[in-house]
Amino acid sequence: MKIAMPNLKLLLTAAGFSLLLVPSGGMPPDTASTSLFDLIHRDDILKIDLQTDLDQLLANRNTDAEVEAVLSFSGPNDRDYRFEIEIECRGKFRRRVCDFPPLKLNFSKRDLRELGLSRFDRLKLVTHCLEDQKGDDYLLKEYLIYRLYAELSPYHFRSQLVQVQYRDENGKKRYKRLGILLEDNDELAHRLQAEVVDTFSFREEGLEPENARLHALFQYMVGNADWNLALRRNLEILYFPGENTYRVVPYDFDFTGLVNVPYGIPNPDYRLTSMRQRVFLGEARGEQLQETIELLRRRRNRLEEVCRDLRYLRKRDEKDVLDYLGTFYAELDEQLIWYPETISTVEPE
């Protein structure tokens, strides 16, 4: 459930800002402790089967029309699960340019109740976008970014790497591709005991400071200029009533220098000319960033280990990722991110 709220004026003070943003009401209690995402979540890749009218789905890619589908997979203890669901295309840019658009999977609440699962009945599926092998390669690097952020912050979307066998409605195999399943916004908020804030004109000064600094510095690290706090672009804002504070949770990382998709467009708002360039979009400066910088320095070995442990990543892509992260740490040493809208010029060879 999202909390509808009026637009906020940018000139509010930080204190007044926080008071006006307190949402009213919350999520209804949920007695089931296990969710659908819990059921599918595992350390290794999950193989799923998705049967639907693919031609109809792709023909309606620019609408919110739902198409019936059957999703099946093998769960814990080798138990087979089969769900009759509805799927629809989602996203804005990717649904227009991708060979295969990202999807929203809508499950039956009744089916979930009968299995003793919680009410969260939606999952997001990040798809391969491009039909050739490079589509899977780019997707793996985007999945890696979700994994890296999860290593640094508990306030992240859970992600599950999947191998999807797509079938026609008659059961005929069409193609087998990689994908990323993401938990829904409402489940994210429930898991973190928070509430999704649905408002614009949010300022970084309204966020919990440590979260704001880490988020901005991480986005710089992976080369992402495709986010905007005030417009809620490619992020969710969560309110934590127990602490009376706000935190940001990012998503959608295909337009990063680390992934470097061929359909990427350097952000002209920041004078970028290459997807590999970085621009720091946070408000913290100088000594305010020092603690977060030291955190990332301490975690460097672990982050690089996560990259090497993703065994589906091609060696050349692994090297490219590690080289790109290496340029970030070189920029830390040169203090290139201490000034407003600094544009990086360091690129891996």
pLDDT digits (tens, 9 = 90+) for 253-307: 999 999 999 999 999 999 999 999 999 999 988 888 999 999 999 999 999 999 9
pLDDT digits (tens, 9 = 90+) for 113-155: 999 999 999 999 999 998 888 999 999 999 999 999 999 999 9
94: left (phi over 0), alpha (psi -120 to 50) or beta: alpha
Is the per-residue pLDDT at 312 higher than 50? yes
- Round the average pLDDT of the chain to a whole number and report it: 88
User: Are 122 and 157 a contacting pair, CB within 8 Å?
Assistant: no
Higher pLDDT, 109 or 63: 109
Quick one: CA torsion of 140, 146, 147, 153, rounded to 10 degrees? Answer: 170
Helix 209-221 with 133-152: angle, nearest 10 deg: 150
Q: What is the DSSP letter of 343?
A: B
| b/e code 318-332 from CB counts within 10 Å (16+ = b) | bebbeebbebbeebb
Which three-class secondary structure state does DSSP give residue 345?
coil
Which three-class secondary structure state does DSSP give residue 54?
helix
What's the whole-number mean pLDDT along residues 78-100? 91
The answer to whether the predicted template modeling score (pTM) of the entire model surpasses 0.85 is yes
Is the per-residue pLDDT at 36 higher than 50? yes
Task: Report pLDDT for 32.
Answer: 65
pLDDT band for position 334 (50/70/90)?
confident
- Which of 49-53, 79-83, 140-144, 336-340 comes out lowest in average pLDDT? 336-340
Which three-class secondary structure state does DSSP give residue 335?
coil
